[in-house]
Amino acid sequence: MAEAGSGRALLSVRDLRTWFPIRRLLFSPSRGYVKAVDGVSFDLSPGETLGLVGESGCGKTTLGRTLLRLERASGGRVVYNGHDLLSLGEAALRPLRRRLQMIFQDPYSSLNPRLAVRDIVTEGLRQHGQLDGSLDAVATRLLHEVGLDASALYRYPHEFSGGQRQRISIARAISLQPEFIVCDEAVSALDVSIQAQIINLLVDLRHRYGLSYLFISHDLSVIRHISQRVAVMYLGRLVEVGETRAVIDAPQHPYTQALVSAIPVPGKARSRRIVLRGDVPSPANPPSGCRFHTRCPQAMDHCKTVEPPLVRLKHNGVEHRVWCHLYSH
Ligand SMILES: Nc1ncnc2c1ncn2[C@@H]1O[C@H](COP(=O)(O)OP(=O)(O)OP(=O)(O)O)[C@@H](O)[C@H]1O
Ligand SMILES: [Mg+2]
């Protein structure tokens, strides 16, 4: 099921599932599962940025971590550059690990406070025995790549602002020449002006090195600035995937419509904000049929019992996929 126009995929994800067992005590039998990721499929092309959006708890981080084998998948398939990622043993996985990196929301907690910046950004290279040149020279080159200079070499994370710290974690992530980076809420904790700078840096690096990103955010207004395509996630599943403009200008799924209606438009109030009723149901016990039916303003009777099919639509000639009964006839 290759996606139209995506060419040869760098990453191909099929029916991916990550379920966390629910136990009363550490070694007691499982009493069910939190179905954090529950049947997700998509392709990512080389050099492409796919934005992943959805409310808190819908499974975005778990999906990103499962793709990098930081979380164990319960089922499905992930093919990365021809490698069946989920079935590789640790030894076979090791050379691929450097190609797959992650950048987190809070660089302060992901940067070791006791290491100087030059040691932080070269840590991966040293671990992989790939430090080529003097440590200071390599670290300086990496810092230049992210808009910092050699004055940062001997300083520690707490001496930097949030935006600068995110630059340091980006330098560390690109040090091993990755191909694919999961950016998990990478700019969410930053001021709007700093967000824009970090997004520009990520776009720059993507062009320079042909990087692909899975750019996770709960904020569509951030995602629209960086992604070629957007995937919308609800309760462990994708509900809509398409080119960014198509998804934002012509959202089809009622859940996406609600998210898009909340994007602030500078200078004017949005005329029709769709406010969803109720809380997100528990992923341990997702609703039957369409998982969104309990909150959907347009829910029909069969949405409660029948799983929505994948429907392929076109918006201005561009493919757009949506899982919703509204479009299935
Ligand atoms: N290690 C774990 N063990 C058990 N449940 C987990 C674990 N990690 C995540 N979960 C659960 O899986 C679901 C998805 O969590 P996840 O962190 O992936 O969501 P998210 O979309 O990234 O949310 P946020 O926007 O708040 O970061 C949640 O219900 C969460 O409580
Ligand atoms: Mg998360």
**Last-in-domain residue among 161, 177, 193:** 177
> What is the predicted pLDDT for the residue at 279?
85
Containing structural domain, residue 232: 11-99+178-272+314-323
**Ligand showing the shortest atom-to-Cα distance for residue 283:** 1
* Dist CA 104 CA 304 (whole Å): 36
Give 104-121 as a DSSP string: -S-HHHHS-TTS-HHHHH
Residue 269: CB atoms within 10 A of its CB come to 7
Cα 150 to Cα 118, 120, 121, 144, 172, distances in angstroms = 9, 14, 12, 8, 15
> What is the predicted pLDDT for the residue at 7?
59
* Dist CA 39 CA 237 (whole Å): 6
Q: Using the atom order of ligand 1, give the atom closest to the CA of residue 59.
A: 18
* Dist CA 112 CA 300 (whole Å): 52
Query: Is residue 291 included in any domain, yes or no?
Result: no
Question: Do 173 and 194 lie in a common domain?
Answer: no
3-state helix, strand, coil in the chain (%, to 5): 35, 25, 45
CA of 57 to the centre of ligand 2 (A): 7
CA of 70 to the centre of ligand 2 (A): 14
Q: Which amino acid is at 326?
A: L
The list of the chain residues with pLDDT below 50 reads 1-6
Cα 84 to Cα 69, 126, 206, 313, distances in angstroms = 12, 27, 24, 30
CA of 65 to the centre of ligand 2 (A): 10
Would you say 211 and 11 are in contact if contact means Cβ atoms under 8 Å apart? no
* Dist CA 130 CA 126 (whole Å): 6
Would you say 232 and 63 are in contact if contact means Cβ atoms under 8 Å apart? no
Question: Do 183 and 260 lie in a common domain?
Answer: yes
- Burial of residue 236 (CB within 10 Å: 0-12, 13-18, 19+) is buried
Question: Do 21 and 169 lie in a common domain?
Answer: no
Residue of 238, 248, 223, 219 whose CA lies nearest to 324 = 238
> What is the predicted pLDDT for the residue at 9?
93
> What is the predicted pLDDT for the residue at 31?
83
Which pTM value belongs to this model? 0.94
**Last-in-domain residue among 135, 156, 177:** 177
> What is the predicted pLDDT for the residue at 271?
60
Residue 254, domain CATH = 3.40.50.300
Q: Using the atom order of ligand 1, give the atom closest to the CA of residue 233.
A: 21
Question: Do 20 and 132 lie in a common domain?
Answer: no
Query: Is residue 296 included in any domain, yes or no?
Result: no
* Dist CA 30 CA 283 (whole Å): 15
> What is the predicted pLDDT for the residue at 1?
39
**Ligand showing the shortest atom-to-Cα distance for residue 102:** 2
Would you say 263 and 217 are in contact if contact means Cβ atoms under 8 Å apart? no
Question: Do 61 and 191 lie in a common domain?
Answer: yes
**Ligand showing the shortest atom-to-Cα distance for residue 71:** 1
Q: Which of 18, 23, 26, 61 to mutate to test the pocket of ligand 1 (most atoms within 8 A of CB)?
A: 61
pLDDT tens for each residue of 35-47: 999 999 999 999 9
